[in-house]
Amino acid sequence: LSVCVAGRYIPPHLRNKDVSKNGFYSKSCGWNTAKDAYSSFGNNRGKSAFFNDRGNANRGRFEHGGFGGGGGGGNSRWVEESRDDGDWSKPTPRNERLEHELFSGSNTGINFEKYDDIPVEATGQNCPHHIESFQDVDMGEIVMGNIALSRYTRPTPVQKYAIPIVKSKRDLMACAQTGSGKTAAFLLPILSQIYADGPGEALNAAKENGKFGRRKQYPISLVLAPTRELALQIYDEARKFSYRSRVRPCVVYGGADIGQQIRDLERGCHLLVATPGRLVDMMERGKIGLDYCNYLVLDEADRMLDMGFEPQIRRIVEQDTMPHKGIRQTMMFSATFPKEIQILARDFLEEYIFLAVGRVGSTSENITQKVVWVEESDKRSFLLDLLSATGKDSLTLVFVETKKGADALEDFLYREGYACTSIHGDRSQRDREEALNQFRSGKCPILVATAVAARGLDISNVKHVINFDLPSDIEEYVHRIGRTGRVGNLGLATSFFNDKNGNITKDLLDILVEAKQEVPSWLESLAYEHQHKSSNRGRSKRFSGGFGARDYRQTAAGVNAGGFGGRGGRNQAGHGGTRGFGGGEDPV
Ligand code: ADP
Ligand code: MG
């Protein structure tokens, strides 16, 4: 289903939406799918007709955007206020259609019970006690209802610790394995606080602003993510957990129509999910003010603070109107946290708790990792062998290093008769989302991807991740293979290794050993050679120390960290900032 009529592209989060006058999603809205909505436009392709035909099916979508003059604007303000006023801790009425849309299709992994054995360590002063069940902490009626609808029976390890830490207003740096439920670990406690505290000054600011005809929004919480697709996914989770509340989540990201995003913001925005570039744009256009943003989350935080994004993060957090650290609450989440990034992150955190779930930067033991020696010239035929051995209804994600490489491999697989698609930085945003949807739905069970798909994406049923090209740094490897084996499900990761991958040898070996995987003997001897050839970079130490030596503040290096000023370390570590997803020269 291509969601496009008369050349207009509707991003997923704006599809299929309808809002009735009372500000709640209404059952009687008339159409169920984006397709239905568009078919009612008939042949009427003129732009003015498109927007002015207010009695029509498009009404729900556009009436709050202020099209067609004063009436619309006034109405939308009324809707907003009716939504914002009142007791934020009380659930708003049910809506079965929306409930079905939001909550159908959740599942729990088969190894989920084993999750309880994962070692967790919290360091930092006065760490709040962890919980064992969702009932152990008061998150309010709305959050508890949505947890039940999501069929979450118990918190994952990162949630057990992060929820009370966030609830007691502490800053947090949380390092937990891929697929371990980090998103809910920050969304649940933040939303629960917002429901308990109400909108506060942010509401008055928006109202004051509205009086002057400006429609700047003042989100109470901001979640930053490195890729557009991840931002969308977090937004979808936020929609679940804000169901039946007065909180309206929004998402802004590059590559999609900014006008539409602005109109969506103008309908109210209390929790904003954003990619950095588009957010800066929105701030500069006066559409977003961060003056009352009490909760800041950096998801995939080590990526957000590497050299590609750091300037934009500083622009957003330090050089505008956001409350200072110590006043706002700041939370960082990732599966990997190189020491250099931990040190840099201090700029944004106050007296934080460091949470290590499993082992920092490690992989889940639910993922079986295989490394095979494959020469460049044999990669394609080797891949075909793997694919032919793959079960019918499982999804396979194939990572390559470059955009060109992705196109070429997709073409090749297509010619070989495989239903496949691709996602990379040269494809339009529409194509990227379409590709991801086709993959998720199983229509195209093979997705060829560059690093744009390495982080955060939660796609159920990805059984096999293949590193057709290995990445050059180990963090990237950890995130890529983490697209499988999520929330207790089992997964397989196969990596093609040859002479070109010397730089990752030692770190890869450490990861395999730590996750109790089979290590090919050739890899062992290569790593041994490599170690003696090159000067020790010291990075591998991250994976060899005992558990608990992971918060950099706990190590000798941490004690002396005051003097750490340079960026050489990060450069060396492969965080070269070459993966900025907005730029034209971006290889992925
Ligand atoms: P991470 O960010 O750690 O990689 P996600 O936040 O993407 O992981 O969560 C992975 C999946 O686990 C999601 O589909 C999410 O809905 C599910 N999930 C999260 N918490 C729970 C829970 N407590 N019980 C069951 N499933 C959960
Ligand atoms: Mg995540």
Q: What is the CATH number of the domain that holds 270?
A: 3.40.50.300
Which is nearest to 318 in space by CA: 282, 276, 278?
A: 276
Q: Flag whether 570 is in a domain.
A: no
- What pLDDT does 39 receive? 34
Task: Give the pLDDT confidence score for residue 48 in this predicted structure.
Answer: 33
Q: How many domains does the chain divide into?
A: 3
User: What percent of the chain stands above pLDDT 70?
Assistant: 74
Amino acid at 517: Q
Could you tell me if 383 and 402 lie in one domain?
A: yes
Q: Which ligand is nearest to the CA of 156?
A: 1
In 98-186 the beta strands, taken as DSSP E runs, fall at 120-123, 172-176
What is the tens place of the pLDDT at every residue in 167-181?
999 999 999 988 889
More confident of the two residues 321 and 84: 321
Ligand index nearest the alpha carbon of residue 486: 1
For residue 115, give the ligand nearest its CA. Answer: 1
> Does residue 361 carry a pLDDT above 70?
no
Ligand 1 atom nearest residue 159's Cα? 23
pLDDT band at 26 (very low <50, low <70, confident <90, very high): very low
The mean pLDDT of 186-208, rounded to a whole number, is 90
Asked, for residue 587, whether it belongs to a domain, the answer is no
What phi, psi does 188 have (nearest 5°)?
A: -60, -55
Residue 580 CA to residue 588 CA, distance in Å, equals: 9
Residues whose CB falls within 8 Å of the CB of residue 389, separated by 6 or more in sequence, listed in order = none
Q: Is the CB of 405 under 6 A from ligand 1?
A: no
The segment with the largest mean pLDDT, out of 23-37, 65-79, 381-395, 544-558, is 381-395
Assess if residue 567 is contained within a domain: no
Distance CA 452, CA 347 (A): 27
Q: Which of 13-17, 42-46, 168-172, 505-509 has the lowest mean pLDDT?
A: 42-46
Sign, CA dihedral 16-19-20-26, equals positive
> Are both 209 and 239 inside the same structural domain?
yes
Which three-class secondary structure state does DSSP give residue 4? strand
Residue 276 has pLDDT above 60, yes or no: yes
- Range list of β-strands (E), 235-328: 249-252, 271-274, 295-299
Using a 10 angstrom Cβ sphere, with 0-12 exposed, 13-18 middle and 19 or more buried, the burial of residue 178 is: buried
Residue 581 falls inside a structural domain: no
In this structure, the strands spanning 271-274 and 221-224 are: parallel
Range of the domain at 19: 1-35
Are 464 and 492 in contact by the 8 Å Cβ rule? The answer is yes
Worst-scoring range by mean pLDDT, 95-99, 430-434, 488-492, 560-564?
A: 560-564
Residue 155 Cβ contacting ligand 1 at under 6 Å: yes
Interval 41-54 mean pLDDT: 33
Q: How confident is the model at residue 553 (pLDDT cuts 50, 70, 90)?
A: confident
Whose Cα sits closest to atom 15 in ligand 1?
181
DSSP state string for 371-411: EEE--GGGHHHHHHHHHHTS-TT-EEEEE-SSHHHHHHHHH
The pLDDT of residue 488:
78
Least-confidence region, from 468-472, 476-480, 538-542: 538-542
Return the ligand 1 atom nearest residue 487 CA: 12
What pLDDT was estimated at residue 501? 95
What's residue 213's pLDDT?
A: 67
Are 427 and 333 members of one domain?
Answer: no
pLDDT digits (tens, 9 = 90+) for 502-544: 999 999 999 999 888 999 999 999 988 877 765 544 444 444 3
Q: What ligand 1 atom has the least distance to the C-alpha of 333?
A: 2
Are 67 and 124 found together in one domain? Answer: yes
Say yes or no: CB of residue 488 within 6 Å of ligand 1.
no
Higher pLDDT, residue 162 or 36: 162
pLDDT reported for residue 575: 38
In a domain, 49, yes or no: no
Length of the chain measured in residues: 588
Q: Is residue 43 part of a domain?
A: no
Q: Which residues contact 40 (CB under 8 A, 6 or more apart)?
A: 31, 56, 57, 58
Shared-domain flag, residues 418 and 521: yes
Which amino acid residue places its CA nearest to atom 14 of ligand 1? 458
What's the gap between Cα 163 and its chain centre? Answer: 18
One domain, residues 96 and 16: no
Residue 364 has pLDDT above 90, yes or no: no
Domain end residue (candidates: 358, 381, 416): 358
Task: For the chain, state the CA radius of gyration.
Answer: 24
- Which residue is listed with tokens 């708003």? 92
Inter-residue long-range contacts of 180-183, CB under 8 Å, 24+ positions, other chains counted: 180/115, 180/156, 180/357, 180/358, 180/364, 180/487, 181/155, 181/156, 181/487, 182/158, 182/299, 182/333, 183/233, 183/234, 183/237, 183/299, 183/458
Please say if the pLDDT value at position 40 is more than 70. Answer: no
Q: Which two tokens stand for residue 85?
A: 């006023």
The pLDDT assigned to 554 comes to: 80
Q: Is the CB of 275 under 6 A from ligand 1?
A: no
Give the pLDDT of residue 486. 86
Contact 335, 175 (CB under 8 A): yes
CA of 279 from ligand 1 middle (Å) equals: 26
Read off the pLDDT band of 16 (50, 70, 90).
Answer: low
Q: Do the domain assignments include residue 391?
A: yes
User: Using CA of residue 286, residue 83, residue 252, residue 275, what is the dihedral sign?
Assistant: positive
Is residue 180 lining ligand 1, measured as CB closer than 6 Å? yes
What whole-number distance in Å separates Cα of residue 540 and Cα of residue 510?
7
Residue 417's pLDDT band (boundaries 50, 70, 90)?
Answer: very high
Q: Please give the distance, rounded to the nearest whole angstrom, from the Cα atom of residue 451 to the centre of ligand 2.
A: 15
Specify the DSSP class assigned to residue 312.
H
Is residue 585 predicted with pLDDT exceeding 50? Answer: no
Instruction: Enumerate residues 6+ apart whose C-beta is below 8 A from 225.
Output: 231, 234, 273, 274, 275, 299, 300, 304, 456
Residues 224 and 289 in one domain: yes
Report pLDDT digits (tens) over 247-271: 999 999 999 999 999 999 999 999 9
The tally of CA atoms less than 13 A away on the side-chain side of residue 390 is 26
What local confidence, expressed as pLDDT, does residue 391 receive? Answer: 77
* 563 located within any domain: no
Domain shared by 345 and 452, yes or no: no
Instruction: Find the mean pLDDT for residues 412-430.
Output: 96
pLDDT of residue 365: 79
Answer whether 188's CB lies under 8 Å from 163's CB: yes
Q: Which atom of ligand 1 is nearest to the CA of 158?
A: 3
Distance 109 CA to ligand 1 centre (A): 10
Q: What is the pLDDT of residues 327-358, one digit of tens each?
A: 999 999 999 999 999 999 999 999 999 999 88
Question: Where do the H-state alpha helices sit in 515-565?
Answer: 521-533, 541-544, 556-559
Ligand 2 center to 512 CA (angstroms): 22
Q: Are residues 433 and 323 in the same domain?
A: no
Give the ligand 1 atom nearest the CA of 180: 3
Model confidence at 96, pLDDT cuts 50, 70, 90, reads: very high
